[in-house]
């Protein structure tokens, strides 16, 4: 089981299905307007990971509100000074720098400054 109350195998299966739907001709166009795929390299493992996330974009800034942050690990790679990240936004890959912050209520926000 993963951290929190969401089993990691279930999360992987759910994410795989969302990624497939996002690529589908029928649903992809709609989902890509609301879901980005973040790709990053794990700080400790050195492995590359990709996961779908909901986002808001204003110009070259992207904000990701992490739902159930205690059950997820990916955002921890961007604590402190943050790090490099790639986002697929509506079919276009964009590089950027992400920084994760947890507020006093436990909510986690990842802010990405996209490279122009």
Query: What is the domain partition of the chain in residue ranges?
Result: 8-114
- Both tokens of residue 96? 């950027």
Residue 37 in contact with residue 94, Cβ under 8 Å? no
CA distance 101 to 32: 25
Cα–Cα distances (Å) from 48 to 7, 36, 41, 70, 94, in that order, read 21, 16, 4, 21, 16
Local confidence pLDDT in tens for the 116 residues of the chain: 444 455 566 666 666 676 666 666 766 666 666 789 999 999 899 999 999 999 999 999 999 999 999 988 999 999 999 999 999 998 899 999 999 999 999 999 999 999 98
Question: Around Cβ 61, how many Cβ atoms within 10 Å?
Answer: 12
List the CATH code of the domain at 8-114: 2.30.110.10
- Rounded to the nearest 10 degrees, how much is the dihedral formed by the CA atoms of 112, 45, 8, 90? 30
Cα–Cα distances (Å) from 105 to 56, 69, 80, 101, in that order, read 21, 12, 18, 11
Residue 111 three-state SS: strand
pTM over 0.75: yes
């Amino acid at each position: 089981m993963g951290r929190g109350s969401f089993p990691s195998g279930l999360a992987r299966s759910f994410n795989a299905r969302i990624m497939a739907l996002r690529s589908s001709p029928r649903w992809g166009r709609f989902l890509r307007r609301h879901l980005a795929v973040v790709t990053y390299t794990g700080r400790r493992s050195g492995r590359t990971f990709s996961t779908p996330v909901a986002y808001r974009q204003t110009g070259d800034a992207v904000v990701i509100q992490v739902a159930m942050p205690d059950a997820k690990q990916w955002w921890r790679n961007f604590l402190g000074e943050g790090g490099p990240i790639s986002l697929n936004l509506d079919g276009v890959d964009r590089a950027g720098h992400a920084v994760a912050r947890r507020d006093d209520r436990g909510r986690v926000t990842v802010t990405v400054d996209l490279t122009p």
